Amino acid sequence: MLGTLTTLMLVAPEWVLRWTKEPRGNAFWAEFVVWPLIQILIVLFIVLTLVAYLVYLERKVSAFMQARLGPMRVGPWGLLQPAADGLKLLLKEDIIPLKADKTVFQIAPIISVVAALVVLAVIPWGAAWATIANVNIGLLFILAVSSVGVLGLVLAGWASNSKYSLLGALRSSAQMISYEIGMGLSIIGALMFARTLSMSGIIEAQQADGVWYVFFQPIGFIIYLVCALGETNRAPFDLPEAESELVAGYHTEYSGFRWALFFMAEYTSMLVTSAIAVTLFLGGWSFPGLGLIKNQTLFVVVSIVIFAAKVMVLIYLYMWFRWTWPRYRYDQLMDLGWKWMIPAGLANIVLTGIWYVLALPKSRGGVFGLMQLGLRDRLAPTRWSGIIYFVVTGFVITIPIIWLVLAAINRRTRDFNLHAQRQLQIKLRAKRLQKHAEPQAAGEGAS
Amino acid sequence: MQLHGWEAVLFYVLAFMTLIMGVFVISARIAVHSALFLISALVNVALIFILLRAEFVAGVQILVYVGGVMVLFLFVIMLVQTRAEEESRVRLYTGQTKAVYVIAMLLAFAFIAAMRPAQSGFQSPDATAPTQTSADRGTATGQGAGGVSEDTQKVGSALYREAALPFEIASVLLLVAMVGAVMLARGSKQEKLYE
């Protein structure tokens, strides 16, 4: 499908060009074939190395959190550990279970890893040439392609012909679909301010507004972070591969490099979700004072470093979560997705919409007139008064209202309202005891 | 509407692949394989949307159908044990095959007859509206960031200005179906627990 298409476009024979009479020449090849290929290779190389070192980082972080040292033997401080791991995985035997569906079993990890890697194309790694493709539906493209990644897990679980794998796959499909909805809802508030789906456009909008959207959209950011955890199957939401219940979940039957592909997909999608969060809520590669750098090349390099630093902060947060919190129970997970994240996301959209419409200029039907036409006819909040208005509404009014909404919805749920639940249990137990006591009393009376 | 050059090549490749995948969907023996072929067909259709410069529709197609509906399909297929039926050698090509050919041919003729008068009414979008491609292809950050992208804007304004009522009716219908399904699935035991 996608792979065939890309190959077709890259190695298209000469006669097609001649037949179609398109203007061609060195400029065409340089712009559409050679330069993109170089960019793709650079990004793939860096990201895959980074993914290998993320595994190392995860082991180190977990070790430090448990007062251990982590990998220390291979290279100084164990820095060559990823290389050793990769070599080990490459040399391992590739086992395919006898009763497995061979084709699907082999395709599944590839789907998983391709869905994770394709997304890298539209991420704005930095200013100017560091953005590979500025697609005007960038964010939608990322959500769409990464939603395909679920298929990899589901098919892997089914094709393995093993009950642990199948259960893991069922869990992962239910979980990822639930959390995808919350994720989609959480970004809409920020998109209202950005008014574009293009990733570079979103960063530019934040520069033009002079504020990161996390300050306008605190609730959206929190919902996004939680849903991204659920979407990447990371702890505390790692139910599809819960070791204590399912051996290893959907990849129980995988070994060697096919298993490594799943691992790679997981860490890449962690990187990607962090990159989206950085782009959408934390200003992407922009940083106060970055404009002072006049040298163009230095500017781009510094922007890449800033983007990477922000992404790494979020990834560290993920690892911190993983090694701090216990795993959720399955019904708790579904409760959190459907009764907390989705209502909060919907309420956030409605409230943000109300604040936005109220702040429109008076000529467009607004009340406060705290917005003005800025760069390229995009409505931007006025400096300071508009920004303060949106920050105050976002923090002081939106959060308490959403709190009330969630409290009303979840008044009767079990795990998030421990006091009421305890009272209920006591009442039920009293009733049961009473029922138990009555026939006994009746029996004693008869004898 | 006339397709030129690369677009024509890609269109025919994609259209052909879609049809082939469609045939595989109904001829595959194992339900999960059918679902996989259906996914390929849907991805090909999304690529045709991109070719027609409807990027938003293409993105939604992948997001909703491939990432959502098909995963639910697989969910259901996996829950229903169909292995035994798949492994028994059922003849797929029976006497019905010939009837299918005839009906398919008739359908194709009907489709061509219906499309012919409509085709003359089509106008090339290139002639009427300037496209964004030159801006989108740029790798610099400044381009393509002006306001909402055109296609997304079109879909949004059409949905909320002209098609608001049908859109709302459809969503209410879905909501009713969802509530009904929840009510059917929910036993009376769970309700009693809290009373």
Whether A198 and A255 map to the same domain: the answer is yes
Q: Rounded to an integer, what distance in angstroms lies between the CA atom of residue A281 and that of residue A288? A: 15
pLDDT computed for residue B132 by the predictor: 43
pLDDT in tens, A248-287: 777 777 877 888 888 888 888 888 899 999 998 988 888 8
Answer whether A1's CB lies under 8 Å from B21's CB.
Answer: no
Whether A47 and A183 map to the same domain: the answer is no
Res. B176: pLDDT tops 90: yes
Name residue A372's beta-bridge partners.
A380
Tell whether A170 is within 8 A of chain B (Cβ): yes
Please work out, in degrees rounded to the nearest 5, the angle formed at the alpha carbon of residue A426 by the alpha carbons of A421 and A429: 120
Whether A154 and A279 map to the same domain: the answer is yes
Res. A51: pLDDT tops 80: yes
Domain-embedded: residue B172: yes
Whether A35 and A123 map to the same domain: the answer is no
pLDDT computed for residue A285 by the predictor: 84
Domain-embedded: residue B170: yes
Residue with tokens 């089509």: B122
Whether A28 and A122 map to the same domain: the answer is no
Closest listed residue to residue B93, CA positions, set B29, B30, B144: B29
Looking at CA atoms only, how far is residue A436 from chain B in angstroms? 18
**Domain limits for position A56:** 1-70
Answer whether A360's CB lies under 8 Å from A366's CB.
Answer: yes
CB distance A134–B144 less than 8 Å?
yes
Whether A128 and A62 map to the same domain: the answer is no
Domain count, chain B: 1
Instruction: Measure Cα distances from A16 to A108, B10, B77, B133 in Å.
Output: 33, 11, 42, 22
Of the three residues A339, A367, A394, the one that is the final residue of a domain is A339
Res. A386: pLDDT tops 70: yes
Burial label for A331, CB within 10 Å (0-12, 13-18, 19+), is: exposed
pLDDT in tens, A281-319: 988 888 887 777 777 888 888 888 888 899 999 999 888
Domain-embedded: residue A268: yes
Domain-embedded: residue B154: no
Whether A104 and A189 map to the same domain: the answer is yes
Q: Rounded to an integer, what distance in angstroms lies between the CA atom of residue B127 and that of residue B108? A: 30
Nearest neighbour of A148 by CB, restricted to B62, B74, B152: B62
Q: What interface predicted TM-score (ipTM) does this complex get?
A: 0.75
Q: Which of A15-19, A165-169, A388-392 has the lowest mean pLDDT?
A: A15-19
pLDDT computed for residue A70 by the predictor: 80
Domain count, chain A: 2
Answer whether B141's CB lies under 8 Å from A134's CB.
Answer: yes
Residue A176's contacts (CB-CB under 8 Å, 6 or more residues apart) are A147, A149, A150, A153, A230, A231, A233, B71
How confident is residue B93, by pLDDT bands cut at 50, 70 and 90?
low
Domain-embedded: residue B174: yes
Answer whether A137's CB lies under 8 Å from A202's CB.
Answer: no
pLDDT computed for residue A377 by the predictor: 67
Domain-embedded: residue B190: yes
CA A413 centroid distance within chain: 27
Q: What does the block give as tokens for A66?
A: 């448990």
Tell whether A140 is within 8 A of chain B (Cβ): yes
Whether A28 and A97 map to the same domain: the answer is no
Domain-embedded: residue A224: yes
Q: Which of A8-12, A158-162, A256-260 has the lowest mean pLDDT?
A: A8-12
Q: Rounded to an integer, what distance in angstroms lies between the CA atom of residue A112 and that of residue A240? A: 15
**Domain limits for position B192:** 163-195
Domain-embedded: residue A369: no
Question: Cβ contacts (< 8 Å) between B32 and chain A: which residues?
Answer: 101, 104, 155, 158-159
Q: Rounded to an integer, what distance in angstroms lies between the CA atom of residue A222 and that of residue A194? A: 18
Whether A64 and A91 map to the same domain: the answer is no
Which of B141, B179, B186 to probe the A interface (max A CBs under 10 A)? B141
Res. A117: pLDDT tops 80: yes
Tell whether A385 is within 8 A of chain B (Cβ): no
How confident is residue A224, by pLDDT bands cut at 50, 70 and 90?
very high
Domain-embedded: residue A424: no
Q: Rounded to an integer, what distance in angstroms lies between the CA atom of residue B164 and that of residue B166? A: 6
pLDDT computed for residue B83 by the predictor: 60
Whether A193 and A257 map to the same domain: the answer is yes
Whether A96 and A57 map to the same domain: the answer is no
Q: Rounded to an integer, what distance in angstroms lies between the CA atom of residue B24 and that of residue A102? A: 18
In this prediction, residues A166-193 reach a mean pLDDT of: 85
Of the three residues A70, A94, A125, the one that is the final residue of a domain is A70
pLDDT computed for residue B173 by the predictor: 94
Q: Rounded to an integer, what distance in angstroms lies between the CA atom of residue A306 and that of residue A312? A: 10
Q: Rounded to an integer, what distance in angstroms lies between the CA atom of residue A235 and that of residue A316? A: 13
pLDDT in tens, A311-358: 999 999 888 888 888 888 887 888 888 888 899 999 999 999 898 888
pLDDT computed for residue B107 by the predictor: 92
In this prediction, residues B65-82 reach a mean pLDDT of: 79
Q: Rounded to an integer, what distance in angstroms lies between the CA atom of residue A38 and that of residue A59? A: 32
Q: Rounded to an integer, what distance in angstroms lies between the CA atom of residue A250 and that of residue A242? A: 10
Of the three residues A287, A305, A339, the one that is the final residue of a domain is A339
pLDDT computed for residue B147 by the predictor: 40
Domain-embedded: residue B66: no
pLDDT in tens, A181-200: 888 899 998 888 888 888 88
In this prediction, residues A137-150 reach a mean pLDDT of: 85
Domain-embedded: residue A354: no
Answer whether A232's CB lies under 8 Å from A184's CB.
Answer: no
Domain-embedded: residue B151: no
Cβ within 8 Å of B, A 171-230:
173-174, 176-177, 180, 195-198, 200-201, 203-205
Res. B127: pLDDT tops 50: no
Whether A62 and A99 map to the same domain: the answer is no
CB distance A136–B75 less than 8 Å?
no
Looking at CA atoms only, how far is residue B20 from chain A in angstroms? 12
Domain-embedded: residue B135: no
pLDDT computed for residue B169 by the predictor: 92
Domain-embedded: residue A352: no
Tell whether A145 is within 8 A of chain B (Cβ): yes
Domain-embedded: residue A7: yes
pLDDT computed for residue B115 by the predictor: 81
Would you say the C-alpha torsion A41, A42, A48, A49 has a positive or negative sign? positive
In this prediction, residues A352-376 reach a mean pLDDT of: 78
